[in-house]
Structure 1
Amino acid sequence: MNLYLIKYGEITLKGKNRRFFENKLLSNLRSRVGPYGGEVEFYQGRIFVRSEDDRIIPILQDTFGLVEICPAIKLPLDMDVLRRTAAEEMKKLVGEGPATFKVEARRSNKSFELDSPAINHDIGGYILHHVPNVSVDVHQPQIRLEIEVREQFYMYVETFPALGGIPYGTAGKSVVLMSGGIDSPVAAFQMARRGVEIVPLHFHAMPFTSEMALDKVRQLVHRLTYYTDWLYFYHINLSEAQITIREHCDERYYTILQRRLMTRLATKLADQKHALSLTTGENLAQVASQTMEGIVCTNDATHLPVFRPLISFDKDDIVRRAKQIETFETSILPYEDCCTIFLPSKVATRPKLADVLAEEAKLDMDALVEQTWKTIVREKIEA
């Protein structure tokens, strides 16, 4: 059975709360690797995973809170065994060479007779004498042989980077406004990576938008469950409210009034689900409603903080992340969403809050919220 030594990052800085984060990480790991026959063990500040299924490596890499996955060899605390095994592994890696290497030992077991520099010197010297075509380079080695001295030796050469962040479900809950475009799934991912439990909410405008447009967002949510496990997905029909806004208000303010309505509805869902924030995929100055003035007007419609994790990203950065998390191809499917219908010919790009409130006063906003809320649907999306 393959053994993987798992390294995690920020959790080690959590002080008295560290155990809470470690327990959640262990729980998340067991849930993710269980279908692959994975066994998870926590010992002396290190996580070990055992599995015969190589498919477990990308699963571990994509687990929030982990920083590095190290396929390891477990050996008894016997220097002769360690020397021979290290040389054998180096021969496999070097082939006909040449190659440079470095030995890095870390001794957490202080009862072991050799300290870390002595182990480095011993194993490095043995490799130099028994493996042809190798030389030491302590600054930029081609091969880094790492040894951890615990209750036994753990030796590894190959490492796989992981996503980092903190364990999912440790940093509260946020309602994420999912448009179906490129940005909002990336924003949801970024928040989940920081431990936030996400509650996806989508607004559609059937019959003006299609079932395929809604299914596109459903697919995006399903992709996010790869990282989060199952999710409840909520969607609301905004079409009647959009017609009402169009009939009563200055068209320059359609977009911002619609966003304020969405924000109110998202806040209502957040209050019911005990979420402490809203999250959007907004990116400063990307479109007319995402100017700083527009954002001020949107924020005024909620008592909750609104997180915008992509606020300073270049579009290329967002696209790159969308491709990495495999939401990009779905996001660019050419289906209309509720924001693309009833488009005004003129848009207030730098709206003043007083003017927006004056337009909103033409509506019975409380009644509009309650009427629209009745269309909410909840679906459980399985991983």
Structure 2
Amino acid sequence: MKLLLLKYGEIALKGKNRRFFENQLITNIKERLLGYDYKLENIKGRIYVHYEDPQVPLILKDTFGLVEVCLCERVELNLKSLEEMIFTMLSTYELSGKSFKIESRRSNKGYFMTSPELSKHLGGFVLNSFPQLRVDVHNPDILVEVEVRELFYVYIERHRALGGMPLGTAGKAVQLMSGGIDSPVAAYQMARRGVNILPLHFQAQPFTSEESLEKVRTLVRKLSYYMGDMSFYHINLLESQQLIRENCDEKYFTILQRRLMTKLAVGLAKKEKALALVTGENLAQVASQTMEGINCTNDASDRPIFRPLISFDKEDIVKIAKKIDTYETSILPFADACTVFLPSRVETRPKLKDVLAEEAKVDQEELYQLAWQTLVKEKL
């Protein structure tokens, strides 16, 4: 079987809590590799995976908490064997005009050479064996890494992974999931910090279509590649929207609707024991996302609202959406609940006291229950 060395980043800084994060990462790896033939080893802070299927390293590089997936070889603690392995590995590369660097790390302090001594020795060996190579310790074309443990571990080829923290180490949060570009990216960004995401979508059938709802299901399925099995929640907001429209000043419709969505998301958070909400809001991107508008939205929640995209440029959000394969789905032209009853004018700098005064024109419990009773949970 082939061998992978899996490297994690921030977990190494966790001190006494490190074992908790390591164990969750290993659990996540095992879940992602269900159905594949592999063997996992966790040896002194290093995770190794023996595998056959070429899909395995591709799956692991898309696992939160890992920073690098290295295609690795290991040999006995014999210098000659190490030289032979490095020679074999380098022989598979086109080396003409290329530069290299040897980087050694000696965890096994019983080995007779220090890390610098080993790097120097191996560098000389490589230069003698491949005279077409040159040394570049700052920006090499080929980096040969050697770890001295109970065996020698050698790797040249590596995949950059997602980084972040293992999924499931930072609690649960309800994501207000529209069908746009921003929401899936916000969910991905929070999951990358270890948060389990509960996606909640607001629809307004029959004013919005079944295709619109299926579009969001597709987005959630795409996110589940990174986040594992997910439940999808949706609420029909139409009757509540009609009540707001009939009783409140039109210019406050957007912020009142946003506050209702927030209250419903808090209700779901309480039901599912989630500690926070997540939105794809981006400061000043649309009229309701001014600082005043966001302040009015915050007032409707007794839980923190995370906005991981708050300072992103749209170009940066689109780049991530394309990377995680949600962009093409997000731009499909199906309307969602936010586009129903669009007002002709919007209050972009709402004052909370004015918003509360408008809100008082409608029985808030009735408004809430009309929507809450339509809550649907689907297992995707």
Alignment TM-score, normalising by the size of structure 2? 0.99
User: What is the letter of the counterpart of residue 226 of structure 1?
Assistant: Y
Which residue does 1:214 correspond to in 2?
A: 213
Structure 2 Cα separation of the partners of residues 100 and 348 of structure 1: 60
Q: Is the Cα contact below 8 Å between 1:33 and 1:39 reproduced in 2?
A: no
Structure 2 Cα separation of the partners of residues 130 and 332 of structure 1: 54
Cα shift at 1:38: 2.7
Cα shift at 1:124: 1.1
CA offsets per residue over residues 283-332 of structure 1, 9 Å max, x none? 00000100000001111111111100000000001000000110000000
Structure 2 Cα separation of the partners of residues 254 and 77 of structure 1: 71
User: What is the letter of the counterpart of residue 29 of structure 1?
Assistant: I
Structure 2 Cα separation of the partners of residues 135 and 301 of structure 1: 63
SS, match of residue 175 in structure 1:
strand
Identity of aligned residues (%): 59
Which residue does 2:358 correspond to in 1?
A: 359
Equivalent residue pairs, number: 380
SS, match of residue 285 in structure 1:
coil
Which residue does 2:142 correspond to in 1?
A: 143
Structure 1 Cα separation of the partners of residues 39 and 285 of structure 2: 46
Structure 2 Cα separation of the partners of residues 328 and 37 of structure 1: 33
**1:80-159 pair list within 5 angstroms:** 80-95=80-95, 97-159=96-158
SS, match of residue 117 in structure 1:
helix
SS, match of residue 189 in structure 2:
helix
SS, match of residue 157 in structure 1:
strand
Cα shift at 1:28: 0.2
| Displacement over 4 Å in runs of 4+ | none
User: What is the letter of the counterpart of residue 39 of structure 1?
Assistant: K
Structure 2 Cα separation of the partners of residues 38 and 336 of structure 1: 45
**Is 1:37 the equivalent of 2:28?**
no
User: What is the letter of the counterpart of residue 125 of structure 1?
Assistant: G
Which residue does 2:28 correspond to in 1?
A: 28
Structure 1: runs of 5+ lacking an equivalent: none
Cα shift at 1:122: 1.4
User: What is the letter of the counterpart of residue 25 of structure 1?
Assistant: L
Structure 2 Cα separation of the partners of residues 139 and 197 of structure 1: 39
Cα shift at 1:11: 0.4
Which residue does 2:241 correspond to in 1?
A: 242
**1:180-259 pair list within 5 angstroms:** 180-259=179-258
The two structures, once aligned, show a CA RMSD in angstroms of: 0.9
Structure 2: runs of 5+ lacking an equivalent: none
Cα shift at 1:98: 2.4
CA offsets per residue over residues 84-134 of structure 1, 9 Å max, x none? 221222222135x12211111100011111111111111111111122311
Structure 2 Cα separation of the partners of residues 62 and 229 of structure 1: 12
Structure 1 Cα separation of the partners of residues 164 and 28 of structure 2: 13
Which residue does 2:292 correspond to in 1?
A: 293
CA offsets per residue over residues 4-43 of structure 1, 9 Å max, x none? 0010000011111110000000000011123232322110
SS, match of residue 35 in structure 2:
helix
Structure 1 Cα separation of the partners of residues 346 and 99 of structure 2: 62
Structure 1 Cα separation of the partners of residues 181 and 26 of structure 2: 31
Alignment TM-score, normalising by the size of structure 1? 0.98
